[in-house]
Chains A and B, each alone.
Chain A
Amino acid sequence: MFNVKRKIFLMLAVSLAIGITVTAAQADDDHGREGHGGEGHVKTTLKAPANSLWQKECAACHIAYAPGLLNAESWRKVMAGLDKHFNSDASLPAREAAEISAFLQNNASGKTGAATLRISETAWFKRQHDGHEISPEVWKRAAVKSPANCAACHPQAERGNFNEHEIRIPR
């Protein structure tokens, strides 16, 4: 009796382990290459478990920036200043702000480095975007306007996909 239970438990444990390994491998595949260069390990796709409140509240004025684009301390700072959010009032009831803040921090990038409010001010962003590939004039085009307008050049940005091969610079 006891033995049978142990056997079942073992089988379950083994199949669970296999399951996790397979999922991890697929996930890795999915996430594709990592961005190159120094401490900046920026995944080119940043799929996060969705949070419907975040999706609703943080995609009203711009795309919902994927949690993996900033580190936890940065998100804490962003969420602490929603009433003066880039010259806009984006304030939320405390309970909703707390839920979104937890979601963002739990899925944040693991990068160290100073907290910034802007993704476009992080070291990895500058490394990926400054210089040779994009001329300064491009950022001023009407269809781009702001470095925060990721979707202007990364059509899949809303889904957290910044893959190099999908990039389209607007005229």
Chain B
Amino acid sequence: MNRTIVMVTIISGLLVRPVFAQTPVEILASIQKEAGSGAKGFSAARGETFFKTKQGGDMSCSSCHTDNPAATGKHAKTGKAINPLAPSANAERFTDPAKVDKWFKRNCNDVLARVCTPQEKGDFLTYLLTIRG
């Protein structure tokens, strides 16, 4: 009897939980895995520089996300508001790996004309996780 209740609870718990939901820390861990053991450790300072510096072209990440990742951003081309990027200010950020991959690909392409390396992504997310909203 008790066993049944426990089973039902576990199963419904599994059903309610979105299948691919993760925490920002879990997403950072999978970037770490992607970077491999040869990588230097992730650095928030490097991530901040990466975030705020124009990389060859005329845009930086902060062109749209502003200099403060906890603030509401503004799309540099269309003017549309963008919700804050820092997980402390926006609980939806870095919880959906497919969404994270999609926007890294797009935005790195726009800013750097190439994909970001795991090192760059790891530094960047490490920096965001130091921001208190």
Number of A-B contacts (CB under 8 A): 30
Q: Are B109 and A89 in contact (CB under 8 A)?
A: yes
- Give, as a whole number of angstroms, the nearest-CB distance from B113 to chain A: 10
Q: Which of B77, B78, B107, B109 has the most CB of A within 10 A?
A: B78
B residues in contact with A63, CB < 8 Å: 80
Count chain A residues whose beta carbon lies closer than 8 angstroms to a beta carbon of B: 15
Complex contact B106–A86 (CB within 8 A): no
User: Interface residues, chain A, CB within 8 Å of chain B?
Assistant: 61-63, 86-93, 145-146, 148-149
Q: Does B110 contact A (CB under 8 A)?
A: yes
Known: A88-B110, A89-B110. A61 touches B77 (CB 8 A): yes
Given contacts A88-B110, A89-B110, contact A145 B79 (CB under 8 A): yes
Give chain A residues whose Cβ lies under 8 Å from the Cβ of B106. 88-91
User: Which of B105, B106, B109 has the most chain A CB within a 10 Å cutoff?
Assistant: B106
Contact (A91, B75) CB under 8 Å given A61-B80, A62-B80: no
Shortest 3 CB-CB distances between A and B: which pairs?
Answer: A89-B109, A89-B106, A62-B78
Contact of B78 among A89, A91, A92, A149 (CB under 8 A): A149
CB-based nearest A residue for B98: A93
* CB nearest to A62 among chain B residues: B78
